[in-house]
Amino acid sequence: MKNLIYAFASLLFMVSCSQGTAQENMTVSELNKVEFNKDNDKVVLDVRTPEEYAEGNIEGSQNIDFLKTDYFTSSIEGLDKNKTYYVICRSGGRSARASDQMRAAGFKNVVNVTGGMLAWQAANLPVKK
């Protein structure tokens, strides 16, 4: 019986570790340290509305409104799935859902920025208006 319990626990552990569905997250401070290069293989993807984006955004970021579901879905189809995307929104909720959707669509390198633009601005990091 004891061996059966250990075997079941081991199997459960292996299955949970192999799922690969854990959300990759990063803080705004960590994002601020990322070195972006001229190859554009790293992209900050802002998923707020165009109005929110116009109020202030991260220099060089790309805006695709996550709330326009069909638009977002069709827009990400045109993105390079080999690039790394740092997904940010207002506070972290939309970006987490957008990151999940992108992974489900086959993107391998998607990072959700926790705290969003509220955290970015609270940390006094540069904002383009």
pTM across the whole model: 0.82
29: three-class secondary structure by DSSP:
helix
pLDDT in tens, 81-115: 999 999 999 999 999 999 999 999 999 999 999 99
Over residues 2-31, mean pLDDT: 56
How far apart, in whole angstroms, are the C-alpha atoms of residue 85 and residue 26? 12
User: Which pair of structure tokens corresponds to residue 93?
Assistant: 């909720």
Domains of the chain with CATH codes = 24-122 (3.40.250.10)
Contacts for 112 with CB less than 8 Å, ≥ 6 apart:
23, 24, 25, 26, 87, 92, 95, 96, 99
Residue pair 42/86 in contact (Cβ under 8 Å)? The answer is yes
The answer, yes or no, to whether residue 2 has pLDDT greater than 70, is no
